[in-house]
Structure 1
Amino acid sequence: MGASQSRSDNGQVVFRSETPVQFSPDVVEQLSERQVSATPTPERQSTLDEHVRTRIQNEVKHLRKAEEEIQQEIRLALEKENLDREKAMAGQVSDEHGAGAGSVKSSAALMGDLEEIRSKIDRFQTRRSLANYPGLKASQEALVSCYKTHPTSSLDCWKEIANFKNSVAQLEKDYFKTLQ
């Protein structure tokens, strides 16, 4: 009994079996396929896919934030540039009229500029409007509808595309006739 206390025990116990362990051929084949196979298991693949999706989403968020910061910096720089230009223009106008530096245009001049801009916008909107061209509007709506009904096979809309192109070509011919 005293001999067991003087022996060093390293925590390992080894059992020796006199009966050989045998595995079925299916188990051996499955284990060898897992070692040879370069593709991960479906569970592992879904985990990898989720990890990749998460990293992509995080990177997209980071890029959007960086884009917003850059756009803000651009906006601020443009505002500063416009203010500097306006101050320079105001200085030139005041020098021409003998007024003190830093004076700006009168409210009547600003209202005139505003009305001019409004009229330009109105002219642009009327030119842009398709209400005067019902054939073009109808072919455009048919094309958009076709694209919406065939989102994955846009080549099925070839007839609508041809009709739209013909409508645009006809509109261009009519426009050039009015210029002559």
Structure 2
Amino acid sequence: MGSASSKQAETTPKTQVWTSETPVRFSQGLVDSLQSSSESDSTRAKALELHIQSRVAEELKKLQDRAARDFEELSAKISAAEDASTTNQQSATAANLSEGDQLRQLGREAVQNDVAELKRKLEGRKKLADVGEGVEKAKSEVVRCLRENDRRPLDCWKEVEGFRREVKRLEDTWVEKIVR
């Protein structure tokens, strides 16, 4: 008892093959179209990505156009309201205006001036510093290499290392500016 194992020892792994009772058949037209297709997975993925980007660009353009149109309409309404308020102010004498109305008008103008000043400051901050020519050149080299070696992106390691060196150099100069 116990001198032999209770299960048979497997000497070689057994391969199981599943066979269907009904054969799988594809139409000859489907087989021909798959064999004659020149598209690979990467080209299909690129085509899909380009299609998605174009759709996003179209939607963004529509949104920008609608926002610009709404802005124009609101600007026209505001200017019309301002014109009406200035004519009303001119027609009303200073004696008829209460002191509170005059303060409200001055407050409104001050707020509008503050908003305009803040907009100018924000526009000034939006400008980003240009990256160096070395970084742009290294980036274009990486892109060129990846396009040439579509099926073998690992062949572009030299270009990627060059890009990393340029970015590190740019980061180091930025850190030096901040530290000083």
TM-score by length of 1: 0.41
- Structure showing greater radius of gyration is 1
TM-score by length of 2: 0.41
